[in-house]
Amino acid sequence: MVEGEERAYGDIQLDSFEHQVAGHGGVLRVKDSRMVAKPLIKREQAFYESSAMWPRFKAFLPVYYGTLEQVGSVVESDSGETAESGYICLENLVDGYENPCIVDIKIGTQLHDVDAPPEKVARMMKKAKATTVGTHGVRVCGMMVPGVSSPSRDWLAGLTADTIGDAFARFFSAAETAVSAEYRRFVIRQFILEVEDLAEVIRSVETRMYSSSLLFVYDASKAKYEQFIAESKGDPSSIDAREDCGGGDYDTSHEGSSNDDDCASDDDDDDDPSDGLLDMKAIDFAHSHWVPGQGPDERYLFGLGKLVSILRSLLSQ
């Protein structure tokens, strides 16, 4: 769809969505709403709908509003998946942001689905081995930072275990240049807390989320951060001290460790200290399943652990 072009879908008006940073394209903005429309894949729809049974997990997903469908019409999506002719309607995660900084991070060490044909399994295993998917269970797929040129897909695909931190440093650079070094530290720390909380939830559910991603969004807006401070949210450096708990590689099996009491999240506190400044959501579930009786997704947890380690290393720089 050409930028600026509009499309009618029944009574719903759709136009281009300028903030998609990865994937195969096709995400549109639903006009006069806080929704985006993503090409419909039934497996992804089913995963969103069944997530309602797990409220803690659902909290880490974009709000799912339903679908726009043309019954009986089936097409091939850009990703090669069989898709209905329609859209999944989801929360627009950058709505209300002045200068959104966005990064799409693939999580987990397995890219292929359980029912993928052998040739695709071989191709995806080769791709995982050749990228940081194999070493870290983390791959930066796309990025958008105001005032910073977007890195090419080739540059991102060429990142190694030694250089993947460079991509995250680039992503958080706007927090310092547009606002302050204090804000950069605050944003990184809050994402650490979000990833740790997600890992805790993933240990409690039985899923397999192959080739799924996390989307990080923060606002590089000095005015909004100053407003945040002025509204007596408190000293950002003392909002949560969990970044000082532990060190080195994050242990995804830390249940019962001596740091649990100091580092645990307060599930009773609904007041998000970063509200309006940043967000993190799990996205892309075309290859995701619920697997009762098979335990948590250890490959996904491994990626979350490595991601926390990368973020912690940035705090010391």
- Identify the CATH number of the domain in which residue 256 sits: 3.30.470.160
Q: What is the dihedral of CA 308, 310, 314, 317, to 10 degrees?
A: 130
Task: Evaluate if residue 4 carries a pLDDT over 50.
Answer: no
Asked if residue 173 and residue 252 are part of one domain, the reply reads yes
User: Are both 80 and 111 inside the same structural domain?
Assistant: no
The answer to whether position 295 is within a domain reads yes
Query: Mean pLDDT throughout 290-311?
Result: 97
Domain stops at, among 91, 118, 136: 91
Secondary structure in 3-state letters for the chain: CCCCCEEEECCEEEEECCCCCCCCCCCEEECCCCEEEEECCHHHHHHHHHHHHCHHHHCCCCCEEEEEEEEEEEEECCCCCEEEEEEEEEECCCCCCCCEEEEEEEECCCCCCCCCCHHHHHHHHHHHHHCHHHHHCEEEEEEEECCECCCCHHHHHCCCCCCHHHHHHHHHHHHHHHCCHHHHHHHHHHHHHHHHHHHHHHCCCCEEECCEEEEEEEECCHHHHHHHHHCCCCCHHHCCCHHHCCCCCCCCCCCCCCCHHHHCCCCCCCCCCCCCCEEEEEECCCCEEECCCCCCCHHHHHHHHHHHHHHHHHHCC
Question: Do residues 115 and 59 both lie within one domain?
Answer: no
pLDDT at 8 over 80: no
Same domain, 122 and 189: yes
Q: What is the mean pLDDT of residues 13-32?
A: 69
Residue 223 lies in a domain: yes
Whether 161 maps to a domain, the answer reads yes
**Cβ–Cβ under 8 Å, residues 101 and 217:** yes
| Domain assignment of residue 15, yes or no | yes
Judge if 177 and 260 occupy the same domain: yes
At which of 37, 65, 91 does a domain end? 91
Span 253-262, pLDDT tens digits: 433 333 333 3
CA Rg value for the chain:
19
Average pLDDT over residues 293-298: 96
Residues 87 and 115 in one domain: no
Same domain, 84 and 105: no
pLDDT band at 30; cut points 50, 70, 90: confident
Range of the domain at 32: 6-91
What is the rounded average pLDDT of the residues 63-89? 66
With 90 as the cut, is the pLDDT of residue 316 above it? no
End-to-end CA separation in angstroms for the chain: 41
CB-side exposure of 304: number of CA atoms within 13 Å?
A: 29
Q: What is the mean pLDDT of residues 57-61?
A: 97
Residue 59 in this model has a pLDDT that exceeds 70:
yes
Q: Residue 139 — very low, low, confident or very high, per pLDDT cuts 50/70/90?
A: very high
Confidence class for position 74, pLDDT limits 50, 70, 90: very low
Q: Is the pLDDT of residue 315 over 50?
A: yes
pLDDT at 182 over 90: yes
Q: What are phi and psi of 137, to 5 degrees?
A: 65, 25
For residues 250 and 89, which has the higher predicted lDDT (pLDDT)? 89
Give yes or no for residue 252 having a pLDDT over 50.
no
Considering the chain, what percentage of its residues have pLDDT values greater than 70? Answer: 75
Pair (136, 61) in one structural domain: no
Q: What is the mean pLDDT of the chain?
A: 81
Q: How many domains does the chain have?
A: 2
Instruction: Give 26's pLDDT tier (boundaries 50, 70, 90).
Output: confident
CA-CA distance, 103 to 280, in Å (whole number)?
10
Between residues 188 and 275, the one the model is more confident about: 188
- Residue 83 sits in the same domain as residue 111: no
Same-domain pairing of 51 and 110 = no
Name beta bridge partners: 83: 75
> 1 in a domain, yes or no?
no
Res. 159: pLDDT tops 80: yes
* pTM, two decimal places: 0.81
pLDDT of residue 2: 40
Decide which of 40, 64, 91 is a domain's last residue. Answer: 91
Residue 296 and residue 171 in one domain = yes
| pLDDT for 263 beyond 90 | no
The answer to whether residues 70 and 214 belong to one domain is no
Q: What is the pLDDT of residues 190-237, one digit of tens each?
A: 999 999 999 999 999 999 999 999 999 999 999 999 988 888 555 555
